């Protein structure tokens, strides 16, 4: 079962023309690679000959060569282009083709189309327009995809952090739907700040999490109290094998510095330290203790649809 559409599956710099990259996303196991001209391709990570993972093979001039018997598959069509030791009068049977998927690269992500027919619609990273130095990474976390998206709304502090910033449980408004994502804002404070005891507090920072209704790209923004962006982070998420979740992300720090920012935050910025941390080790007890509030609404809105697993290109 998977959600049809474009999925961001890898960082562009992680896909090269030397070593195939295996990815498991949204119920599909794929292999990504480039040709010498730099064009990226996605094939099902399964050789049509004997079902060996193609990611164990190598990239050659005419495509991806399986590591077992050396058959080669074209990246664009998935067709078998070469079988070693074939006689001059023998032809490669057309049915020996790997499933090929449409690929588009934009905003530093490799996107793959998991859907029927011609690819359509905006890419999930289309609202990520970095300026300045980026910070990137990838990992696999030990929780299911649905749980990861739920926790991003119920308790994002379990999954990520901003140095010298403390997220609070105080919601600034209701859950809302915006550009294909469910958006929630919560108050945050500088970690040097002591929270006063009164019920209503002026929060100098806002953390806005936007969780996708379709696909898997989460956007997180750290904003000033005037809603000026300070840090933007895009996390591509996908259901991996055995209940785990694949993540890859890119993010950057914006130009503006809030007037009340503490010295240590300014110093970290000058030293070009990472302005956020995506956790790869997640505290299961902390996630289990989260109140399921906002995620209840997300579950209802994010109903997966069944689509056939036939070839799409
Ligand atoms: S299993 Fe791939 S070529 Fe035989």
Q: What is the pLDDT of residue 1?
A: 45
Structure tokens at 208: 């806005």
Q: How far is the CA of 99 from the centre of ligand 1 (A)?
A: 14
Residues of the chain with CATH 2.102.10.10: 5-114
Instruction: Please give the biggest Cα pair distance in the chain.
Output: 86
Q: Are 127 and 242 in contact (CB under 8 A)?
A: no
Q: Using CA atoms, how far apart are residues 93 and 53, in angstroms rounded to an integer?
A: 20
Eight-state DSSP code of residue 36: T
The parts of the chain modelled with pLDDT lower than 70 are 1-2, 195-201, 303-313
Considering the domain delimited by 5-114, tell me its CATH architecture. Answer: 3-layer Sandwich (2.102)
Q: Are 165 and 206 in contact (CB under 8 A)?
A: no
Q: Using CA atoms, how far apart are residues 157 and 279, in angstroms rounded to an integer?
A: 9
CATH code linked to domain 134-301: 3.30.530
Q: What is the pLDDT of residue 195?
A: 67
Q: Closest by alpha carbon to 246, among 255, 254, 237?
A: 237
Task: Kindly state if the Cβ of 68 falls inside 6 Å of ligand 1.
Answer: yes
Q: What is the pLDDT of residue 202?
A: 77
Residues of the chain with CATH 3.30.530: 134-301
Q: What is the pLDDT of residue 183?
A: 95
∠ Cα 12 18 22 (to 5°)? 60
Phi, psi of 302 (to 5 degrees): -100, 55
Task: Kindly state if the Cβ of 55 falls inside 6 Å of ligand 1.
Answer: no
Q: Using CA atoms, how far apart are residues 253 and 275, in angstroms rounded to an integer?
A: 6
Q: How far is the CA of 33 from the centre of ligand 1 (A)?
A: 18
Structure tokens at 101: 């998927």
């Amino acid at each position: 079962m998977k959600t049809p559409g474009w999925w961001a599956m890898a960082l562009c710099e992680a896909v090269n023309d030397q070593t195939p990259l295996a990815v498991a996303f949204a119920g599909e196991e794929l292999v990504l690679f480039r040709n010498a001209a730099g064009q990226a391709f996605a094939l099902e990570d399964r050789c049509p000959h004997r079902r060996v993972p193609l990611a164990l093979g190598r990239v050659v001039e005419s495509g991806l060569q399986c590591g077992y018997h050396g058959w080669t598959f074209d990246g664009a069509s998935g067709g078998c282009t070469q079988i070693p030791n074939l006689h001059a009068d023998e032809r490669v049977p057309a049915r020996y083709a790997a499933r090929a998927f449409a690929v588009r690269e934009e905003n530093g992500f490799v996107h793959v189309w998991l859907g029927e027919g011609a690819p359509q619609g905006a890419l999930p990273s289309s609202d990520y327009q970095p300026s300045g130095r980026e910070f990137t990474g990838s990992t696999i976390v030990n929780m299911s995809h649905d749980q990861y998206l739920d926790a991003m709304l119920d308790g994002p502090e379990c999954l990520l952090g901003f140095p010298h910033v403390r997220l609070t449980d105080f919601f600034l408004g209701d859950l809302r739907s915006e550009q294909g994502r469910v958006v929630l804002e919560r108050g945050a404070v500088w970690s040097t700040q002591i929270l006063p005891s009164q019920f209503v507090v002026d929060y100098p920072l806002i953390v806005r999490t936007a969780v996708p209704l379709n696909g898997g790209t989460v956007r997180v923004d750290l904003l000033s109290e005037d809603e000026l962006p300070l840090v933007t982070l895009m996390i591509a998420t996908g259901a991996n094998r055995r209940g785990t979740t694949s993540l890859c992300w890119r993010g950057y720090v914006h130009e503006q510095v809030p007037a009340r920012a503490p010295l240590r935050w300014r110093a970290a910025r000058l030293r070009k330290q990472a302005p956020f941390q995506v956790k790869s080790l997640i505290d299961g007890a902390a996630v289990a203790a989260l109140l399921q509030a906002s995620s209840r609404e997300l579950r209802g809105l994010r109903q997966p649809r069944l689509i056939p697993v036939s070839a799409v290109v």
